Amino acid sequence: MRNPFARFLPMLSNDIGIDLGTANTLVYLRGKGIVVNEPSVVAVNTKTDQVVAVGGAARDMLGRTPGHLAAVRPLVEGVVSDFEATEEMLAYLINRAQGVSKKMLGPRAVVGVPSGITNVEMRAVRDAAHSAGAREVYIIEEPIAAALGVRIPIREAVGSMIVDIGGGTTDIAVLSLGGIVRSKNLRVAGDKLDRDIIGYVRSEFKMLIGEKTAEEVKVAIGSVIEGGQPLSAAVRGRDLITGLPREVILTDSDIREAISQSIDTLVESVREVLETTPPEILSDVMRSGLVLVGGGAQLRGLSELLNQWLKVPVMVADDPLTAVVRGTGVILENIEQHQDLLLEYEEDIS
């Protein structure tokens, strides 16, 4: 039964959308747009169990903390691994998003999660958002949110395909008539590529580098196909033989070799989803193409490589990093109308 005071709720509370990512968390405030984009990192004082920093400030502490401080990522492969840290991070980001616009009641929140999430994992996300101050929590799968965010007409009887390459997971989904027809959730994404680079430098140069350095070199010179101007970057780390500081020069071909196995897995997984897609929908995808979103979509040459191997048009969405959170904003415009797209829908009883 609809709450008779529902029409007054927008005046009493905010509507926010959250892209709860392994690498970054983005927050959309209805009427304002994207107001927060912070790394999903929390710094905790292990002596007092108090949170001392969240987001960018905490990320700067990664690999640099003294014994009594721990900089942790509360989300692993897109799901909650540390409930308390996730709750603290969400509370900080929600409060920051609302800012001076904070209202009497807690906000309604639409949260994006990876496809194929289990009930236990979904409950952890919902409970963390409630504990962080949200009045109502709605859960949506990230491929659907991303498709809405890049204005793909997913409710029509036309097939479309989206590949969301995030920090912890890659979501591959074929969509039609407002639902996921075929999908695969892959634990090969930005963080895995960073680990590949760390392993390569360790093996080839006998030098240890940190996750932050690996990510920076991936963004600076990473590519998946040859061609164009050669790129290189200096990286610093610890020599594993002498234990002393050392600097080496990495090239784009080094990065290609380091991440080649993971990229092969990604391409093969997209191919597997296409192979099981019904023929009518597959013909639609061949016409309209595959859309890449997420931070990994910006990896040089990835769209060209997928196009070569899959023989379908491949496009990188405009501003791929924000596709999911923009999709939550579309849902916030009319939650009731999009109710059928949500994994969980809570009728407000307040």
pLDDT digits (tens, 9 = 90+) for 72-98: 888 887 778 888 888 888 888 888 888
Quick one: average pLDDT of 148-167? 92
What is the predicted pLDDT for the residue at 49? Answer: 78
Question: Would you state the structure tokens that stand for residue 187, as one six-digit string?
Answer: 């634990």
Per cent of the chain over pLDDT 70 is 93
CA–CA separation, 297 vs 33, rounded Å? 22
CA–CA separation, 217 vs 224, rounded Å? 14
Min mean pLDDT across 105-109, 203-207, 267-271, 329-333 is at: 105-109
What is the predicted pLDDT for the residue at 199? Answer: 97
C-alpha 159: how far from chain center: 23
Place of tokens 């980001």: 93
CA–CA separation, 165 vs 163, rounded Å? 6
Superfamily designation of domain 190-258: ATPase, substrate binding domain, subdomain 4 (3.90.640.10)
- Asked if domains 6-145+323-341 and 152-188+270-321 share a fold, the reply is yes
CA–CA separation, 75 vs 95, rounded Å? 20
H helices within 99-179, ranges in order? Answer: 119-131, 142-149
Question: Would you state the structure tokens that stand for residue 111, as one six-digit string?
Answer: 């949260």
| Domain limits, the chain | 6-145+323-341, 152-188+270-321, 190-258
Superfamily designation of domain 6-145+323-341: ATPase, nucleotide binding domain (3.30.420.40)
pLDDT band at 12 (very low <50, low <70, confident <90, very high): low
**For 241-286, what is each residue's pLDDT tens digit?**
999 999 999 999 999 999 999 999 999 999 999 999 999 999 999 9
What is the predicted pLDDT for the residue at 8? Answer: 47
Secondary structure (3-state) at 242: coil
End-to-end CA separation in angstroms for the chain: 12
| CATH class entry, domain 152-188+270-321 | alpha beta
